[in-house]
Amino acid sequence: MGDQHACAVDGAGTVKCWGADDFNQLGDAQNNSGTASSPCGRGITNVIVPNKPIALGGGRLQTCALYGAAQPAKCWGSNQSGQLGIGTTDGGEPANYGASVLGVAATGGNYHLCMLTTAGGVLCSGNNDHNALGSAAPHPSLTPQTVLIGNTPIANVTALTSSFLVSCALRNDNTVWCWGENTAAGDLGGAGGRLGNGDAVAHVGAVKVMGLPQ
């Protein structure tokens, strides 16, 4: 599910999407939302990606088809902050994430996208406001950047999820690590402490969520 579009895989393994298409969220290269009176009037469309992905994932305005070790992940939709990881902000049609990233899960928030790789690491691209990419990557980053714990790439990740400007990873030791916005400052307001590590200050990279059972 995205902001105004949804995608699914049918029984034959074909990827299909429906809803808004103003940023090519439907992945069929037509980039047409229908008519002014019916902006989602095109119905269900076939996405131009290989059949039989092992999973779908994405964020607000983009979706990815994941194939594990079989072939690189394909992503499509909004690319205005370079979140599709193709090195430019052009287009939004289905393309390999990064050069040839083998992904098993994808998630994203506000103009950023993160990918869990077959090796158990995490890569993120796009808008790096509020440390959303989990590293000291440039803003925006048009290519995938490695999420870090301190100066070390995060590893042994088994699951991944995101909200607006925070992403979290579950590791195989049952610890949870999060990165992104953690303060009460700026236009987001709130009390801060979104990363669950016991403070409300900015962090570059992932920090461990405290107090969870292991």
pLDDT value of residue 41: 62
Read off the tokens for 8: 């699914």
pLDDT value of residue 40: 64
Measured CA to CA, the distance from residue 162 to residue 106 in angstroms comes to 9
Measured CA to CA, the distance from residue 69 to residue 197 in angstroms comes to 33
Measured CA to CA, the distance from residue 156 to residue 119 in angstroms comes to 8
- Three-state DSSP at 131 gives helix
Q: How confident is the model at residue 189 (pLDDT cuts 50, 70, 90)?
A: low
Mean predicted confidence (pLDDT) in 177-189:
79
- Three-state DSSP at 203 gives coil
In sequence order, which residues have a C-beta less than 8 Å from that of residue 61 and are 6 or more positions away?
Answer: 2, 3, 5, 23, 25, 77, 78, 111
Read off the tokens for 10: 């049918």
Do residues 126 and 133 lie in contact, with contact meaning Cβ atoms separated by under 8 Å?
Answer: yes
- Give the residue among 38, 36, 35, 19 at the shortest CA–CA distance from 27: 19
Domains of the chain, start order: 5-208 (2.130.10.30)
Cis preceding linkage at 140, omega within 30? yes
pLDDT value of residue 30: 78
Site of tokens 């105004």: 4
Per-residue model confidence as pLDDT tens digits over 62-71: 999 999 999 9
Residue 25 clears pLDDT 80, i.e. is over it: yes
* Ranges 5-9, 39-43, 113-117, 163-167: which has the least confidence: 39-43
Rg (CA), the chain: 17
Measured CA to CA, the distance from residue 212 to residue 97 in angstroms comes to 33
Per-residue model confidence as pLDDT tens digits over 127-157: 998 899 999 998 899 999 999 999 999 999 9
pLDDT value of residue 186: 54
State the amino acid at position 182 in one-letter form.
N
Do residues 27 and 93 lie in contact, with contact meaning Cβ atoms separated by under 8 Å?
Answer: yes
Going 159 to 163 to 167 to 168, the CA torsion angle's sign is negative
Measured CA to CA, the distance from residue 111 to residue 62 in angstroms comes to 9
pLDDT value of residue 129: 85
Residue 43 clears pLDDT 90, i.e. is over it: no
pLDDT value of residue 22: 87
